[in-house]
């Protein structure tokens, strides 16, 4: 139970009955400076109307709702790890109500990203394809490696996730590619290779390759390979639990406290700029 003697961050959770939603609710419950203020899910969820912490065998006093306005009425910030369409609908309500947002959803198109940037004129948003502190430190290492290995090394990104993940490559893998491409003075849209089949010809050294694996219950594995002549460097991050995403999300919540607008990422949250 949160310490009511402190100033609490009042947090709503979207996708409250999913695996990530449960992890976030448990992390909020265990945090001394956060309080669950709303729980949101799709109308077809059988948990609508139930206590959001029922899965823990506890009562939070917060019922799962399909109404974004009702779920956000008492919140200061929304954490959203859902689907792009749902996140955009929730973000519209956040903007209208002046509620900040932490967005961990992946699979956004360029149009979605433009709308999120526009919403950030009125509310403060942290958006990152991976909220893990370790992943974001890995991104910083990749930036440094790419700058040092700018010539003579082929770059390949391999990612693996559970069988239920709906987008590929993962948002984290794409972010890794973006960080590397930017460090090399390139645009990922111009140099990414997402599939190889048949007679492909020799590898273009200016490209960044992606390989995707889906299977079982893999939480998330990412390896970036810098393959040179006579040596190769591999930088790997492996997630064993979604709890790392939840803890990173709460760091983002704390970072947003007192901010009125702006679009930020986990580099901002962790001071890695």
* Residue 165: active-site member: yes
Give the CA angle between residues 225, 230, 208 to the nearest 5°. Answer: 30
Secondary structure (3-state) at 224: strand
State residue 257 phi and psi, 5-degree precision. -55, 125
Rounded to whole angstroms, the Cα distance separating 69 from 89 reads 11
Pairing state of beta strands 262-264 and 64-65? unpaired
Tokens describing residue 222: 């990412």
Closest CA to 36 of 88, 1, 65, 82: 1
**DSSP of 130-190, one letter per residue?**
---HHHHHHHHHHHHHHHHT-SS-EEEEEEEE-TT--SSS-HHHHHHHHHHHHHTT--HHH
Active-site annotation holder among 9, 22, 90, 161:
161
What is the torsional sign of CA 127, 133, 137, 142?
A: negative
**DSSP of 103-114, one letter per residue?**
E------HHHHH
Tell me the CA distances in angstroms from 148 to 82, 151, 164, 239, 264, one per residue in order.
37, 8, 37, 27, 27
Closest CA to 247 of 269, 273, 223, 232: 269
Active-site annotation holder among 112, 140, 165, 259:
165
* Residue 140: active-site member: no
The set of catalytic residues is 161, 165
């Amino acid at each position: 139970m949160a310490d009511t003697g402190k100033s609490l961050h009042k947090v709503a959770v979207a996708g409250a009955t999913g695996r990530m939603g449960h992890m976030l609710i448990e992390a909020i419950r265990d945090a001394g400076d956060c309080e669950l203020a709303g729980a949101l899910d799709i109308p077809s969820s059988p948990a609508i109307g139930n206590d959001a912490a029922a899965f823990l065998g506890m009562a939070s006093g917060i019922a799962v709702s399909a109404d974004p306005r009702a779920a956000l009425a008492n919140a200061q910030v929304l954490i959203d790890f859902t689907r792009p369409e749902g996140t955009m609908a929730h973000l519209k309500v956040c903007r209208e109500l002046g509620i900040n947002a932490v967005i961990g959803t992946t699979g956004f198109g360029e149009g979605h990203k433009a709308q999120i940037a526009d919403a950030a004129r009125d509310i403060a948003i942290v958006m990152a394809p991976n909220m893990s502190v370790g992943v974001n430190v890995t991104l910083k290492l990749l930036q440094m490696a790419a700058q040092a290995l700018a010539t003579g090394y082929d770059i390949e990104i391999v990612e693996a996730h559970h069988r239920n993940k709906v987008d590929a490559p993962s948002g984290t893998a794409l972010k890794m590619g973006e960080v590397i491409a930017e460090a090399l003075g390139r645009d990922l849209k111009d140099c990414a290779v997402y599939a190889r089949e048949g007679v492909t010809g020799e590898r273009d050294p200016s490209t960044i390759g992606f390989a995707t694996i889906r299977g079982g219950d893999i939480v998330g594995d990412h390896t970036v390979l810098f393959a040179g002549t006579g040596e190769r460097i591999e930088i790997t991050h492996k997630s064993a639990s979604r709890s790392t995403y939840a803890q990173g999300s709460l760091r983002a919540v704390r970072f947003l406290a007192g901010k009125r607008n702006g679009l930020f990422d986990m580099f901002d949250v962790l001071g890695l700029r």
